Amino acid sequence: MDSQTSQSPQPSQTPHTFQVDLRGLVDLLSHHLYSSPRVYLRELLQNAVDAVTARRAEQPGAPARVRLHTDREGGTGLRVEDSGIGLTEADVHGLLATIGRSSKRAEGLQAVRSDFLGQFGIGLLACFVVAERIRVVSRSARTPDAPPVEWTARDDGSYTLRTLPHEARPEPGTTVHLVARPGAAEWLAPRRVLELARDFGALLPYDVRVDGEAVTDLPAPWDRPYPSPANRRVALARHCHGLFGFTPLDVVDLSVPLAGIRGVAYVLPTAVSPAQRARHRVHLKGMLLTERAEQLLPDWAFFVRCVLDTDSLRPTASREALYEDETLAAVREALGARVRAWLTDLAAGDPERLSAFLGVHHLGVKSLARHDREMLRTMLPWLPFETTDGQLSLEEFAQRHPVVHFTRTVEEFRQVAPIASAQGIGVVNGGYTYDCELVEALPSVLPGTSVAELDADTVSAHLDRVDPAEEPALADFLAVARSVLDPLGCDVSLRAFHPLSVPALHLDDRATRHERARAEAEARADELWAGILGSLRGGAPRARVVLNHLNPLVRRISSLKDPALVGTAVQSLYGQALLRAQRPLRPADSALLNRAFIGLLEWATHEEGGHA
């Protein structure tokens, strides 16, 4: 059997095409792709501007104008005229044969399509957000002998197409007529149309007018010539207030020529949370693309709001956001570098403005300095930290103390700060956002600096021991105190330290707290989990209560002869030390405090009764 007879016959293949439900597509594009009805005007402006761009690419001297005419009486219609390249009957047929294919991809327009803002087909259908009927009358500039063509579509998905007499439109270009759908007339009202046109089209390169009023306002505020830098700051502050509603602390120029980006970043005058997503205004070739761009700058630059124009960034399908790609990533890095350079320039030449900025936005700079050692080195003299010496920079603090101790939580700092300060121990509060990481990175930018986490042993080592001559008389007191607190997993020691007003100091560390949490979980767990948690038991570190022998109250308690009363008093001191350290109270701690309180009340009332 030869090879031909051994092969199975191939089934015949008949090509098919998708059947497009135009009505469903209209509903999808006009009601689900876009976030707000307001975008209909942006789509109309985009189509008009792109048409003008296409014509001027072929006819450089062609007029460049877009005119919007509202129905000032009824407010139910809108007419948009442009002097663009126009459409022939074949163009319209080609456009409608494949919904979504851009008319700008037609032959002869390939060379300039990178200058276009959108796609005529999809953008026009977006007008059904507000219109029940769209009528387009167009005459091609490329084939001046071709008659004008009229395309009329309704929101039910139906459309008609016909040619018109030459006098119906003598000049090349396109006119789009909209008739408002019920309930949407407000979007075609004269004041609303002018407001939207200025919002979307203020930076467009052509003459755009609404009922004769100018829309475009060029050059952009950041590119205009001003008599002086002070005049420029005032003008840009006014521009910021109009766009964002605040007067900026400062203005950062954003220019990335290779990416075709020009604009400014306005520095917020009040502090904001780093978790709050910054929203920026981005224009694409002059047309406002979005006022909610969130990924334009690095996360650390949450203290600025940007407005810029670009010709390189890629919009999403709805053209209401930026497409995340390599170009956007490169632009984000470049804009972040501009903000970083602005901070460096302030540090070098304008310390007063830098101090004013850091007084509000030190958190953002600390976030940047975590990953940028050069920025940390630059900002060290300026960034404020809470320390036992007050608000200081790390650089100044390191000059005062041979070892920079730090705590990892605010509670730990609050607990030990008065004691450490009195003993001459320098401690930085590392409990605030980013502070701990920056303190640990200090040796990398200040060689020779010693940094250590403050622990219970370090504090204890700096506290004075009691006079050996007094220790025998205190032995019974310490024995009672240790027997009372031992069941709570807490050791007791007696030291002499300042300030005198602190009777007892509760000390623990992360290992102690971890072991305490593990033991509590083990006590509550069933047999299986108790066994697992038991296997995780470490070296059983214990918390420590340090009683202050210099405190008058502790001295009086240590001289009491009644062991029960001594125990009750020590329990009270333990509870007070816990509360001072802002430690959460376990059930056993709460029960102990209740017993101590009741015991002291009984003792006080018993003494009162005895006197009576």
Q: Do the beta carbons of residue 388 and residue 426 sit within 8 Å?
A: yes
Quote the pLDDT of residue 103.
Answer: 40
Provide the pLDDT confidence category of residue 520 given band limits of 50, 70 and 90: low
Inter-CA distances, 459 with 176, 452, 466, 493, 503, Å: 80, 12, 16, 13, 16
- Radius of gyration of the chain measured on its C-alpha atoms: 38
Provide the pLDDT confidence category of residue 418 given band limits of 50, 70 and 90: confident
* Average confidence (pLDDT) over 362-386: 87
Among 34-38, 224-228, 379-383, the range scoring the smallest mean pLDDT is 34-38
175-184 pLDDT, tens digit per residue, is: 999 999 888 8
Tell me how crowded residue 209 is: count the other CB atoms within 10 A of its CB.
16
* Average confidence (pLDDT) over 48-66: 93
117-134 pLDDT, tens digit per residue, is: 344 445 677 788 889 999
Quote the pLDDT of residue 414.
Answer: 81
559-607 pLDDT, tens digit per residue, is: 888 888 888 898 889 888 888 777 777 787 788 788 888 888 888 787 5
Element (H, E) at 256: strand 251-256
Q: Per-residue pLDDT for 292 more than 50?
A: yes
Identify each DSSP E strand in 87-206 by its residue range.
131-139, 149-154, 159-163, 173-180
CA distance 439 to 407: 10
439-482 pLDDT, tens digit per residue, is: 999 999 999 899 998 877 777 777 888 888 888 888 899 999 99
* Average confidence (pLDDT) over 8-21: 47
The residue with tokens 């609050």 is: 414
Provide the pLDDT confidence category of residue 24 given band limits of 50, 70 and 90: low
Provide the pLDDT confidence category of residue 269 given band limits of 50, 70 and 90: very high
Strand-pairing partners, residue 310, are: 261, 284
Provide the pLDDT confidence category of residue 25 given band limits of 50, 70 and 90: low
* Average confidence (pLDDT) over 265-278: 86
* Average confidence (pLDDT) over 23-46: 73
CA distance 134 to 151: 8
Among 30-34, 309-313, 404-408, the range scoring the smallest mean pLDDT is 30-34
Contacts of 543 (CB under 8 A, 6+ apart): 489, 490, 491, 506, 507, 508, 512, 516
Q: Are strands 403-407 and 427-429 parallel, antiparallel or unpaired?
A: parallel
Tell me the three-class secondary structure of 276-333, residue by residue: CCCCEEEEECCEEEEEEECCCCCCCCCCEEEEEEECCCCECCCCCCECCCHHHHHHHH
Q: Do the beta carbons of residue 167 and residue 151 sit within 8 Å?
A: no
Among 312-321, 341-350, 410-419, 443-452, the range scoring the smallest mean pLDDT is 312-321
Comparing 298 with 99, the larger pLDDT belongs to: 298
Quote the pLDDT of residue 611.
Answer: 45
Quote the pLDDT of residue 123.
Answer: 66
Q: Do the beta carbons of residue 347 and residue 358 sit within 8 Å?
A: no
Tokens at 592, concatenated: 């102990």
Nearest to 507 by CA among 549, 448, 463, 571: 463
Side-chain half-sphere CA neighbours of 92 within 13 A: 25
Inter-CA distances, 26 with 51, 157, 515, Å: 23, 7, 64
Quote the pLDDT of residue 224.
Answer: 93
Q: Give the burial class of 488: count Cβ atoms within 10 A of its Cβ; 0-12 exposed, 13-18 middle, 19 or more buried.
A: middle
What percentage of the chain carries pLDDT values higher than 70? 82
Side-chain half-sphere CA neighbours of 482 within 13 A: 11
The dihedrals phi and psi of 496, each to the nearest 5 degrees, come to: -115, 115
Q: Per-residue pLDDT for 436 more than 90?
A: yes
89-111 pLDDT, tens digit per residue, is: 888 877 654 444 444 434 433 33
Strand-pairing partners, residue 15, are: none
CATH architecture of 385-454: 3-Layer(aba) Sandwich (3.40)
The average confidence (pLDDT) of the chain is 82
Nearest to 588 by CA among 508, 486, 481: 486
Quote the pLDDT of residue 28.
Answer: 62
Among 2-6, 343-347, 546-550, the range scoring the smallest mean pLDDT is 2-6
| DSSP-derived 3-state class of residue 435 | helix
Quote the pLDDT of residue 30.
Answer: 54
Q: Residue 242 corresponds to which amino acid?
A: G
CA distance 500 to 497: 7
Q: Residue 37 corresponds to which amino acid?
A: P
* Domain spans of the chain, in order of start: 22-214, 229-342, 385-454, 464-611
Q: Which CATH class is domain 22-214?
A: alpha beta
CA distance 364 to 267: 11
Provide the pLDDT confidence category of residue 221 given band limits of 50, 70 and 90: very high
Tokens at 47, concatenated: 């189509």
Quote the pLDDT of residue 80.
Answer: 96
* Average confidence (pLDDT) over 263-290: 89
Q: Do the beta carbons of residue 460 and residue 392 sit within 8 Å?
A: no
Q: Per-residue pLDDT for 7 more than 80?
A: no
CATH of 464-611, picked from 3.40.50.620, 3.30.1330.40, 3.20.20.140, 1.20.120.790, is 1.20.120.790
Angle (CA) 126 129 134, round 5°: 70
The span from the first CA to the last CA of the chain, in angstroms, equals 129
The CATH code that applies to domain 229-342 is 3.30.230.80
How many helical (H) and strand (E) elements, i.e. helices and strands, does the chain have? 21, 22
Q: Do the beta carbons of residue 481 and residue 570 sit within 8 Å?
A: yes
Tokens at 236, concatenated: 């840009």
Identify each DSSP E strand in 398-503 by its residue range.
403-407, 427-429, 450-453, 464-465, 490-496
The dihedrals phi and psi of 194, each to the nearest 5 degrees, come to: -65, -40
Inter-CA distances, 251 with 226, 291, 334, 359, 425, Å: 15, 18, 17, 17, 42
Residue 436: alpha-carbon gap to chain centroid: 21
